[in-house]
Structure 1
Amino acid sequence: MEPVIDQAFAATLYTDDDAGLDTGASLLAAAPTADAELVRRGEEFVRRAWERGWLPADVVRVVRRDLDEHAAGLAAGLIAAEVRRYPELPPRWRSQLDELPAAPPWGRPDRFSYASALLGLYRLLLALPVIEPVGPPPGAAREALYRPPVAGEPRMLTRIRALLAKAEATGFPEEAEALSAKAQELMARHSIDEALLAARTHGDRTPGACRIGVDAPYETAKAILLDAVASANRCRAVWNSDFGFTTVVGFEADLEAVELLHTSLLVQGTAAMTRAEAGQRAGGRKRTKTFRQSFLMAYAQRVGARLADGTARATAEADAEGGAGGGAGAGSGLLPVLAARDLAVGDTAEKMFPRTTTTRVRGATDLDGWNHGTRAADRARMGGGTPEIRG
């Protein structure tokens, strides 16, 4: 006789109707002896996701979006169980695992409902397509997993995080402006130092990639903000709107800068938008959706312009300092080094995404929202025509 799990899977995983889901859940609810094998099969589906290029945060994000928070918790439980089999994990996995939601208790609220939710999750996991990998899967050779840290990097990142945390927490726009500006300055100088160190030591570091979630609502404006932060930090960003994430390609120090700065600027922008919207509502306005969309579009464009200016200033200052020091460091050598790294990042992005498209997005339609967003970007210290994004 066919095992009950195979019967349940046959009824459920290769159809998309509720009747099959109910049939499979009924079979599993009546067979508690199959519970262990059911979990083992789920871990196998998760393992297949790694082989297709997915990371823990990617899986949880798409499950939460397409199913619900309960299913995201089920996925998190399977992920946590599956990764225990690996003695070492790729870079960035540990932080993603630490942020997973809590797994719900087994069999709650009842065996049928639990089995139904689990089968719905398995159906989604089985359908995940192959996507561009941004690092080795777990279980890869140790040399593929290990990326040696840059000298002094943890201390620098700790300082940058502290500055951005203060910028997010302060209620004074001028203080947030100064703190964010200082953080961006440190990021730009750290990137330059890393580039020069690699050139002097003939290091074999190559560009890598990471994924950053771009969640609804207003995901277009958020993707534009992330693209602006990536460009200012010498990275390339490609937005996948279908799966709700952007892949950022760049050197490791620059990728970390993008992750830190984007998160902070999004927090600052959202807080400023909420305050501005409250003022609009107090004045009797009702069009909050168009106000928010226009606010974030303006914020993203203005932030991008200011970030680009800051990076250009930091580069010019570092080049001048190197020249004043007799040419032993930056001086005549900095700009070619940065140009070579830009070329390497571009080549890597083109190889990863040979068929990207550049799309014009719909502009802002609320003048008040646009003006408030521009002023918020000025305060964050970080134009013009219709923005373009790659995806």
Structure 2
Amino acid sequence: MAKQNRRRRTGRKPAAAPGLPVEEALSGDPAQVADAIATVAFLAAQGNKNAIDRFVDQVTGAELAAGVQLAGQRIIARAFDFGWLPADIHEAARRRVDEFATAYLTDLMAEHRAGFPAESVDEIWQSQLTELAAAVWWTPAQPHLDQWADRALLTPEEALTAALSAFALLIQLPKLEQIAPLPGTRRHTTHHHVDEKTLGRVRGLLAKAESTAFAEEAETLSAKAQELMTKYAIDRALLHTEHTDPDLPAARRIWLETPYTDAKALLIDMVTRANRARAIFVADWGFVTVVGDDTDLDAVEILSTSLLVQATRAMIDNATTEESRTRHYRKAFLTAYATRIGELLTKAAEATIADAPNRLLPVLASHQQRVDQAFNTYFPTVRSRGITIRSAEGWTAGTEAADQARFDNP
């Protein structure tokens, strides 16, 4: 904001902007303006850091809102066609652009959703938009940009800069797997989630695990949560042995906070394996895609979220030496913690399965085959990647922190 104010106070004439579609932007034709906006956003996405500021300097005072809206509709549709879901776009924006561009993207997604009847929008899509509070609050008969600028207390130049930054991010997004049907495709996927009673019990156990100061108690409570989720999955599998779902198993993306995303991704992978699912890490963007049945994905999501909190706390509690405060130590700690916790959770899950009726075994084999088929369909070409560990002390401490777990009932 201060930058735009300084520009007005100095009265400097903007420098010429060769190579930018200024004439098209000033044409007054919304279609030409939209093309100009998209071109500038593309230049910024390709690394031309000054393209947006130079363009905004040249078009100050022009009426561009209708063209900006048209460009936004096209660019957001492309991102969705590329497999990005509303939550994914929000998480990418939260990490790579400012709060204004992030807020603009939320409105852009709400506008896109408004063009489809409710019955043609997948549950996952709608739930993500609802969580983002994405709704059409503006008067649709008027261009959105001007109304949004007034609401956000931005000058026209600042609003245009935010919109262009948002578009540049969308253009940078790579093509992903289509893990949920697009709005308007008329393809309905039935989602079967863990019931609220079971989820409530699991959340209660994990809340206690996160609040206790004793690592042994935390890990025992986490193991009990894994046992409950496994029992629920077994009961549901046995109940539906005669039912064959024509859809592929579901997939979800879990976004990770920096630093040490590779070690955190490993922890999610270990939880995923314990819950009969599969995972793949997209390191450049910092998220893990998990493939499995909805109930197993519910387990992975809730357990991973809690265990990441517990692992971080254990790492901080163990920071008693100079070595333990280094990046190498902390990465090694989290990696060792993830590896050992994975082994313990798998042991807890296997013990629960061993107590189940014998008729469960072919059901689980069929389930694993479906998950593998879905994973190979979503990710036909994948490669394994290791994690480099440079602190033996961190590895030992992480293993010991995870190894304190007891797996009897609390």
TM-score where L is the length of structure 2 = 0.79
Deviations 1:91-150 (A, max 9, x none): 333443344399996264432233122112212213433211111112231xx3341546
Segment of structure 1 superposing worse, 203-212 or 267-276: 203-212
Preserved contact between residue 63 and residue 124 of structure 1 (Cα < 8 Å)? yes
Unaligned stretches of 5+ residues in structure 2:
1-26, 136-146
Residues 293 and 254 of structure 1: is their aligned pair in 2 closer, same or farther, counting only changes over 3 Å? same
Shift of 1:310: 1.0
In structure 2, relative to structure 1, the CA distance for the partners of 1:10 and 1:190 (3 Å cut) is: closer
Q: Which residue of 1 aligns with 2:340?
A: 302
TM-aligned CA distance change 1:345 to 1:66, over 3 Å:
same
Question: Are 2:349 and 1:311 aligned?
Answer: yes
For 1:249, what is the secondary structure of its paired residue?
Answer: strand
Q: What is aligned with 1:185? A: 227
Q: Which residue of 2 aligns with 1:290?
A: 328
Query: 1:106 is matched by which residue type in structure 2?
Result: A
SS of alignment partner, residue 238 of structure 1:
strand
Paired residue for 1:117? 162
Does the aligned pair in 2 maintain the 1:42–1:122 contact within 8 Å?
A: yes
% of aligned pairs identical? 39
Q: Of the candidates 59, 68, 84, which is equivalent to residue 89 of structure 2?
A: 59
Match of 1:115, as an amino acid? L
Q: Choose which of 129, 143, 148 in structure 2 pairs with 1:97.
A: 129
Query: Aligned residue for 1:106?
Result: 149
- Asked if 1:47 corresponds to 2:51, the answer is no
CA distance in 2, matches of 1:148, 1:96: 14
Cα deviation per residue 1:272-323 (whole Å; 9 max; x = unaligned)?
Answer: 212222x33xxx55742122111101111011111111111111011xxx2x
CA RMSD of aligned residues (A): 2.7
Output the CA distance in 1 between the equivalents of 2:59 and 2:404: 57
Is 1:376 the counterpart of 2:401? The answer is yes
How far 1:245 moved relative to its partner? 1.4
Alignment of 1:144-159 (within 5 A): 144-147=187-190, 149=192, 153-159=195-201
Q: For residue 387 of structure 1, what is the aligned residue in structure 2? A: none
Tell me, yes or no, if structure 1 residue 85 matches structure 2 residue 121: no
Deviation, 1:10, is 6.0
CA separation of 1:334 and 1:11: change in aligned 2, threshold 3 A: closer
Q: Which moved more, 1:54-63 or 1:71-80?
A: 71-80
Count of residue pairs brought into register by the alignment: 361
Q: 2:139: which partner in 1?
A: none
Q: 1:199 to 1:368 in 2, by over 3 A?
A: same
- AA in 2 matched with 1:65: R
2: distance between equivalents of 1:93 and 1:174? 39
CA distance in 2, matches of 1:314, 1:252: 19
- The 2-side partners of 1:168 and 1:28 are apart by 53
CA contact (8 A) 1:11 1:20 kept: no
Deviation at 1:252, TM superposition (A): 1.3
Output the amino acid matched with 2:366.
A
1:336 paired with 2:365, answer: no
Q: TM-score, normalised by structure 1?
A: 0.83
- Does the Cα contact within 8 Å between 2:277 and 2:292 map onto a contact in 1? yes
Aligned twin of 2:295: 253
Cα distance in structure 2, aligned partners of 1:222 and 1:297: 7
Separation in 1 of the partners of 2:53 and 2:36?
Answer: 9
Q: Write the mapping of 1:127-146 to structure 2, written as runs, cut at 5 A.
A: 127-141=172-186, 144-146=187-189
CA–CA separation in structure 2 for the residues paired with 1:269 and 1:28? 51
- In structure 2, the CA distance between the partners of 1:304 and 1:27, relative to structure 1 (3 Å rule), is same
State the SS of the aligned residue for 1:135: coil
